[in-house]
């Protein structure tokens, strides 16, 4: 598989300059590189694998898209197109950050559930329509089955915005190190877990050594019993289940940044995290395999993928603390 990428820039409607531009990096299956490449290295897509399902990946706060390139490449090797993006914005007054795009207004008690919390998503969906109309991926995308995924705050907006009522083109969502605990500063009672749309397949992944979650519990007015407690509660309380397409996967020894490689010690909250206790390469491979099988099973409708996903605990026993499906 020849994994290639290109860049795009899009304007965010109603955003104020200079925080009104999102930069995209689009990963795709390319043809074998040859002498007919364009001067800037744009290789034609391998159209034999099309139409491509698309994954939009939402980064954690102050986590650059390059931290997730390893995952994007592994998913492209499975025949998917993956979009990562960079958006520097002021989500909170006076706090400028590299953001996944969080609509704080939609997190308020009076508004939650009435719209998407992913403020970048409408712009990203419009960008995909443009890619479908022109360029190296023109006519090769399946825009009726888009997958939302993300890490940390980006994972939260991905699973909260996976609502077929708001975005009928979205087919599933996954998140690493994300939960729906409600901040007390927004007016919620301590320990509140907010409900998810629960209309599409979901995959929640977390790690037992997530120091960022463990050390941030004060935001929710509680002290978590374990680092995975809010992820467990999100699975059990925010998702009704009943379709057998919602999953919980807790990884032994994984931390908050186990989905990131290479790590960037100059940004984000790496200083809050606990050290991983399992080989990081093995953890990343398992994260990618679980996400890939989840998409194969519930978006690509591959008949053997559901069983392979259910078999993960047997084939990766030392790395999996908990696996559940409902």
pLDDT in tens, the chain (326 residues): 899 999 999 999 989 999 999 999 999 999 986 655 566 778 999 999 999 999 999 999 999 999 999 999 999 999 999 999 999 998 777 889 999 999 999 999 999 999 999 999 999 999 999 999 999 999 999 999 999 999 999 999 999 999 999 999 999 999 999 999 999 999 999 999 999 999 999 999 999 999 999 999 999 999 999 999 999 999 999 999 999 999 999 999 999 999 999 999 998 899 999 999 999 999 999 999 999 999 999 999 998 999 999 999 999 999 999 999 99
Q: Are 193 and 180 in contact (CB under 8 A)?
A: yes
> Which fold would CATH assign to domain 2-325?
Rossmann fold (3.40.50)
Sheet holding 320-325: strands in order across?
2-11, 21-30, 81-86, 52-58, 141-151, 170-176, 202-207, 246-251, 320-325
- Taking a C-beta distance cutoff of 8 angstroms, is the pair 158, 58 a contact? yes
DSSP string covering 49-114, please?
A: GPSEEEEEEEPPTT--GGGGHHHHHHHHTTT-EEEEEE-EEEEETTEEEE---B-GGGGSTTTTTS
Other residues' Cβ atoms within 10 Å of the Cβ of residue 256: 29
Query: 302 phi and psi, to 5 degrees?
Result: -80, 120
Q: What pairing do the DSSP bridges indicate for beta strands 170-176 and 52-58?
A: unpaired
3-state secondary structure at position 243: coil
Per-residue exposure over 106-116, b if at least 16 CB sit within 10 Å of its own CB, e if not: bbeeeebeebb
CA distance 265 to 8: 27
* CA 99/CA 96 separation, integer angstroms: 9
Question: Encoding tokens for residue 262?
Answer: 């290479």
Instruction: Decide: helix, strand or coil at residue 117.
Output: coil
């Amino acid at each position: 598989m020849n994994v290639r990428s290109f860049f795009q820039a899009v304007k965010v409607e109603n955003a104020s300059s200079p925080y009104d531009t999102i930069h995209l990096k689009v990963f795709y299956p390319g043809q074998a590189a040859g002498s007919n490449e364009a001067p800037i290295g744009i290789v034609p897509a391998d159209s034999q694998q099309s139409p491509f399902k698309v994954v939009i990946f939402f980064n954690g706060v102050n986590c650059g898209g390059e931290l997730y390139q390893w995952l994007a490449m592994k998913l492209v090797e499975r025949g998917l197109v993956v979009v990562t993006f960079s958006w520097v914005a002021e989500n909170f007054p006076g706090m400028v950050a590299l953001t996944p795009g969080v609509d704080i207004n939609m997190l308020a008690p009076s508004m939650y559930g009435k719209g998407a919390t992913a403020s970048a998503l409408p712009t990203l969906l419009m960008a995909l329509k443009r890619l479908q109309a022109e360029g190296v991926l023109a006519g090769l995308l399946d825009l009726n089955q888009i997958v939302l995924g993300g890490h940390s705050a980006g994972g939260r907006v991905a699973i909260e915005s996976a609502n077929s009522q708001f975005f009928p083109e979205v087919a599933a969502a996954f998140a690493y190190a994300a939960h729906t605990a409600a901040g007390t500063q927004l007016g919620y009672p301590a320990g509140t877990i907010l409900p998810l749309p629960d209309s599409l397949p979901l995959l929640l992944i977390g790690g037992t050594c997530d120091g960022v979650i463990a050390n941030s519990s004060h935001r929710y007015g509680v002290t978590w019993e374990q680092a995975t407690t809010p992820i467990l509660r999100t699975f059990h309380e925010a998702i009704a289940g009943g379709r057998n397409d919602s999953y919980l996967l807790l990884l032994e020894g994984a931390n908050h940044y186990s989905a990131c490689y290479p790590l960037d010690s100059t940004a984000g909250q790496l200083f809050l995290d606990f050290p991983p206790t399992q080989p990081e390469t093995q953890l990343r491979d398992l994260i990618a395999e679980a996400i890939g099988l989840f998409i194969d099973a519930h978006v690509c409708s591959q008949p053997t993928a559901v069983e392979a996903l259910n078999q993960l605990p047997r084939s990766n026993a030392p790395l999996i603390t908990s696996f559940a499906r409902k």
